[in-house]
Amino acid sequence: MSNEPIALGAALASFDALWSPRIVTRVNDYDVRIAKVEGEHLWHAHDDTDEFFLVLEGELYISLRESAGERTVRLPRGSVFTVPRGTEHKPYAPTGAALLLFEPTGTPTVGDRHDEVPDHVDATTGHALGF
């Protein structure tokens, strides 16, 4: 990890892959990840951790399957949302978005329980930023 400031705009400009997060830095045992997204992810759940989303650019929707039924939250630019651990969810961005995520180091992008992983989703625990 760098001990120098990191400009998120430059970090986002350093890669094009969608649904393939890059690790910007670490805070204690958590990765701070950025990702470019467009289209749909997949239904999945993280059994042991919450998932934090901050929309840096664009707009993100997250469908949730909860005990009261299914609902969708809309996150415009600058919005934050935390998906509680164990909650099935599916992020999607019809017109694209850039995100910042906080997750425990080693957390897979497709969760612990998930649908079949489509080709456009990178099943990873995050990639090095590489710039």
Predicted model pTM: 0.94
H helices of 14-96, in order, are none
Instruction: Compute CA distances 119 → 33, 94, 122, 125, whole Å.
Output: 21, 17, 8, 16
**CB distance 104 to 29 below 8 Å:** yes
pLDDT attached to residue 71: 98
Task: Tell me the per-residue pLDDT of 75-123, one tens digit each, with 9 for 90 and over.
Answer: 999 999 999 999 999 999 999 999 999 999 999 999 888 888 989 999 9
130, pLDDT greater than 90: no
**Full set of structural domains in the chain with CATH:** 8-128 (2.60.120.10)
The better pLDDT of the pair 24, 115 is held by 24
- Residue 5: Cβ within 10 Å count: 5
pLDDT value at 2 more than 80: no
